[in-house]
Structure 1
């Protein structure tokens, strides 16, 4: 887990014997502190919330919140590059198709008007 992650109640960083959870309101708690509160209520803001256990099996959209900014930029840069290449390839194919149609029309007009 990222070095800046800590329990928002006891301020302890993660260690081997603890697990951490993320609330739907955006707070992070160690398992010890989470057990101190009411079920489905945030210990800090006292609003109804759901919790998700943070682990390597956690949804990738949630895991993204804990990636380093460098890692996140690299991941999305690669994805953006692949998407851009894919779209550009299809744009070039479409332009080539229309260019061929324009050339056919030019040839037809040359034939028609005997230019």
Structure 2
């Protein structure tokens, strides 16, 4: 289970069974609900061109990034 301090950078909801999170190549965390509101290939937060990778407990370090 992912830590509760991770949340969507758009709606600020934590992950849930019906609200999976993903990380963008520009470093933002976004839920599947907010992702559907944006344009494909563009970050909803900063508008940069990006790709999205699902964020799960099994995500590798290249997705999770450094833990502080």
* TM-score where L is the length of structure 1: 0.52
**Which residue does 1:34 correspond to in 2?**
35
Structure (1 or 2) with the greater helix fraction:
1
Query: Which SS does the other structure have where 2:54 is aligned?
Result: strand
| Equivalent-residue separation in structure 2 for 1:50 and 1:62 (angstroms) | 11
Q: Which has the larger radius of gyration?
A: 1
Unpaired stretches in structure 2, ≥5 consecutive residues: none
| Equivalent-residue separation in structure 2 for 1:44 and 1:9 (angstroms) | 7
Q: Structure 1 segments of 4 or more deviating over 6 A? A: none
**Which residue does 2:17 correspond to in 1?**
16
Q: How many residues align?
A: 67
Q: Report the aligned-residue RMSD.
A: 1.6
TM-superposed CA distance for 1:2, in Å, is 1.6
**Which residue does 1:55 correspond to in 2?**
56
Query: Which SS does the other structure have where 2:22 is aligned?
Result: strand
| Equivalent-residue separation in structure 1 for 2:62 and 2:48 (angstroms) | 23
Structure (1 or 2) with the greater strand fraction:
2
**Which residue does 1:78 correspond to in 2?**
none
Unpaired stretches in structure 1, ≥5 consecutive residues: 70-115
The structure showing larger relative contact order (alpha-carbon pairs under 8 Å, at least 6 residues apart) is 2
**Which residue does 1:45 correspond to in 2?**
46
